[in-house]
Amino acid sequence: MSGWAIVAVVAIVVWGMVQMFKARHRAERGIIMDERGNESFANAPRDGETEQEIEDLRERIKVLERIATDGNSLDAQETKRISAEIEALRDKQPGQGE
């Protein structure tokens, strides 16, 4: 058997093993595949603990969005002040007094 034939056989065997591994884990995690090969989660019922965790995460996201977009926070004001000082120093021409 030539070298390329051995490479082809090994590649086919590895590909088959990967497909079997993926199929096994899809079934364990509730992942279904449609006729076009698109994967999605099966509609599994959620328990109360999962629903509460999702709601807590949504609240955290709201807080993080507010922090990221709030321009009047102390950090934002401090950042603006420092930026203004830096721009003022850049605008000073060499040779001008302090």
What torsion do the CA atoms of 30, 34, 38, 40 make, to the nearest 10 degrees? -30
67-83 average pLDDT score: 76
Residue whose entry in the numeric block shows the structure tokens 């490479």:
7
- What confidence tens digit (pLDDT) does each residue in 16-25 have? 999 888 888 7
47-58 average pLDDT score: 85
Above 70 in pLDDT, residue 51?
A: yes
> Are 31 and 39 contacting, i.e. CB atoms less than 8 angstroms apart?
yes
Same domain, 4 and 37: yes
Above 80 in pLDDT, residue 73?
A: no
Between 3 and 17, name the one with better pLDDT: 17
- Number of helices (H) and strands (E) in the chain: give both, helices first: 3, 2
Interatomic CA distance for residues 15 and 38, integer angstroms = 19
Number of structural domains (the chain) is 2
Angle, vertex CA 18, rays to CA 15 and CA 23, nearest 5: 125
Tell me which residue range forms the domain holding 73. 46-98
C-alpha atoms less than 13 angstroms from C-alpha of 72 in its C-beta half-sphere:
0
Which amino acid does the sequence have at 43? N
50-61 average pLDDT score: 88
Same domain, 12 and 33: yes
Residue whose entry in the numeric block shows the structure tokens 């955290």:
60
Same domain, 98 and 63: yes
